[in-house]
Amino acid sequence: MKIQVKVNGKDIMFLIDTGIGPTVVSKDLANELALNQVGIMHGNRMSGQGLEIPLVEVPSIEVAGLIRKDVVVGIFDTSGFPPDLDDIKGILSIGFFKDKTLTVDYSNHSLTVAEAPLDGYPQDNGTRVPIDVEYNGPSVSLFVRVKLPNGKTGKFEVDTGSDVLIMNLNLMAELGISPEDREVKIFTGSDETGNKYKRYLAKIKGNILLDGSPELVQENPRVVFQDIIYDGLIGHDFLKRYTVSYNLDKREMIFYKR
């Protein structure tokens, strides 16, 4: 999700990614603004790979009328981005919208920032889903409970930076899928940090749904199985079918039918 953001009054193109952890800016932008380092954040990627992220302070960031002052952000290397993201100079985390309600309308390609809580969009109350909110300094992560076709429930990170559903490699056999199946596609490579991966793309039989909300269901979804530290990640392929509100203070997401 691309959006134009004002950084110190200057228009800069950012992404919005609920799975990024902290808000980050590119090395080039940090140098251009002469930002001073204020610390280091220690964390882990979903692969388990440890990271040390330099932290700097941005005097002002504004998006959709919301202005934050003295924002602590990480510095992120964008050299591994594909060509269609050459204009991206930063990534906004969901933590930027704390004490507000962020609503993503996939139908109209729009974002709305409102005072929390938001009552109805536009008229009904939608389906409210509880979320776990985990903090690590300036980093914020969101998790929901997802019910799998085998009846088990897993803790999945909400990650708008992902496309298809991602699941822990351990769940592959439990869901009746073998790496040797002809329909399974295998991908190997290295991510933008150089960490090597092996991924299995398959279509699982049955439904996945948000636990306690059977109406929020995806039938026979495509899934990437990978060695990760979470049960899974739920991303754009699921979320795009709704208009979605995020409210960290109330620890809930609200799903509205498109």
Same domain for 246 and 145? yes
Same domain for 106 and 140? no
CATH number for position 93: 2.40.70.10
Same domain for 153 and 108? no
d(CA 11, CA 26): 14
Contacts of 48 (CB under 8 A, 6+ apart): 227, 228, 229
Find out whether 60 and 67 touch, Cβ atoms under 8 Å: yes
Nearest to 28 by CA among 112, 84, 87, 70: 87
Nearest to 230 by CA among 81, 53, 80, 19: 19
Strands 88-92 and 232-234: unpaired
pLDDT, tens digit, for every residue of 8-54?
A: 999 999 999 999 999 999 999 999 999 989 999 888 787 777 888 99
Same domain for 96 and 199? no
Tokens, residue 217:
């269901």
Note the pLDDT of residue 81.
78
pLDDT, tens digit, for every residue of 169-184?
A: 999 999 999 998 989 9
Question: Which one of 115, 136, 162 terminates a domain?
Answer: 115
Nearest to 142 by CA among 15, 17, 12: 17
Find out whether 135 and 196 touch, Cβ atoms under 8 Å: no
Same domain for 106 and 77? yes
Residue 122 domain flag: no
Note the pLDDT of residue 115.
80
Same domain for 103 and 206? no
Number of domains the chain is built from: 2
Tokens, residue 189:
């490579």
Range of the domain at 246: 127-257
Q: What percent of the chain has pLDDT above 70?
A: 95
Same domain for 210 and 157? yes
How many residues in the chain? 258
Same domain for 51 and 149? no
**Rounded average pLDDT over 103-114:** 87
Same domain for 54 and 172? no
Residue 120 domain flag: no
Same domain for 52 and 165? no
Predicted structure pTM score:
0.89
Find out whether 225 and 164 touch, Cβ atoms under 8 Å: no
Distance of CA 235 to the CA centre of its chain: 7
d(CA 86, CA 179): 35
229-243 CB burial, b ≥16 within 10 A, e <16 = ebbbbbbbebbebbb
Residue 91 domain flag: yes
Same domain for 131 and 155? yes
Whether 123 has a pLDDT exceeding 60, the answer reads no
Residue 70 domain flag: yes
Same domain for 109 and 16? yes
